[in-house]
Amino acid sequence: MKKIAFLGCGSMGEAILAGYLAAGADPQHVTATVRRVERAAELATRHSIVAIAGAEEPDANKQAAQGADVVVLGVKPVNIKALCEEISSVLAPGAVVVSVAAAVSLDLLRDALPAGQPVIRTIPNTPLTVGRGVVGLSPSAGVTADQLALGKSLFDGAGTVLEVPEEQLDAISAISGSGPAYAFYLAEAMAAAAREFGLDEETAVILGRETVAGAGLMLTTPGADPAVLRRGVTSPNGTTAAAVAVFDAQELPAIISAGAKAAAARAAEITAQLRAG
């Protein structure tokens, strides 16, 4: 069994952790670090892992990383460099470092870690919490096939892993990383439209929420094609066709594309800021 350390185990880190354990990993080989004592106790109780609070143990991250086969960096992007420098002295040469922080480049990670340290950059999304996540993944040069497989195994129980070149990760972030918010935004908008029809608040929220959730579940069917599913609901000259015609006239696909491009551009800006600072 491999020893895994989750450094900065927030909601995303816990989603990955839960999926990893659900896939059959031994919790006795997992250590997580957090800031608060209460959060550490919560993780330990919920997952039967070792959880260390930085408030009690200032060297918590070093303790967890010492001897680990995989180290997951779960802190905010602005804190990644400092964390890498903090744990560098205790990392085993072959330990695989996996970052889940958006906009933190492989170059930045490599520069802050010991020379030759295997590094994998990932872009996960929040549906990992329900086992339906998507993870974009890019390894640094020199990562072996076994090390890459070990990094990918973290996500076996929580979603689909797509290996892509690093230059495509900002696009992955803009589509799947931010994408759940787009779906939630649609549910909000549908609920607002329901209220305009005079439906009460509870009914409006249920209509927006359950319709988006149900449609998403249909998309999980093997081989499901969103265009085919849409056409199946859109009878010629029917009510749905009238709505879709308005969406097309308002250029909704172009609006979504513009939003995704703005998200990708912002990720590039953050990367540049992190490199500069």
Residue 7's SS3 state is strand
Domains 4-164 and 179-263 agree in fold? no
Q: What is the pTM of this model?
A: 0.92
* C-alpha–C-alpha distance, residues 268 and 118, integer Å: 23
pLDDT at 201: 98
pLDDT at 277: 76
Lay out the sheet containing 159-163: strands in order across: 50-53, 30-34, 4-7, 70-73, 96-99, 119-123, 133-139, 159-163
Answer whether 122's CB lies under 8 Å from 135's CB. yes
pLDDT at 113: 97
pLDDT at 1: 75
What are the CA-CA distances from residue 55 to residues 34, 82, 243 (Å)?
8, 17, 54
Residue 147's SS3 state is helix
* C-alpha–C-alpha distance, residues 36 and 9, integer Å: 11
Given CATH 1.10.3730.10, say whether it is the number of domain 179-263: yes
pLDDT at 156: 86
pLDDT at 259: 98
pLDDT at 105: 96
pLDDT at 157: 85
Answer whether 99's CB lies under 8 Å from 75's CB. no
Domain 4-164 sits in CATH at 3.40.50.720
Amino acid identity of residue 154, one-letter, is L
Instruction: Report, as ranges of residue numbers, the positions in the chain whose pLDDT lies below 70.
Output: none
Query: So where are the chain's domains?
Result: 4-164, 179-263
* C-alpha–C-alpha distance, residues 21 and 35, integer Å: 22
Which residues have C-beta within 8 Å of that of residue 233, sequence separation ≥ 6?
A: 240
The string of pLDDT tens digits covering residues 108-128 is 999 999 999 999 999 999 999
pLDDT at 69: 97
* C-alpha–C-alpha distance, residues 136 and 142, integer Å: 19
The string of pLDDT tens digits covering residues 260-276 is 999 999 999 999 999 88
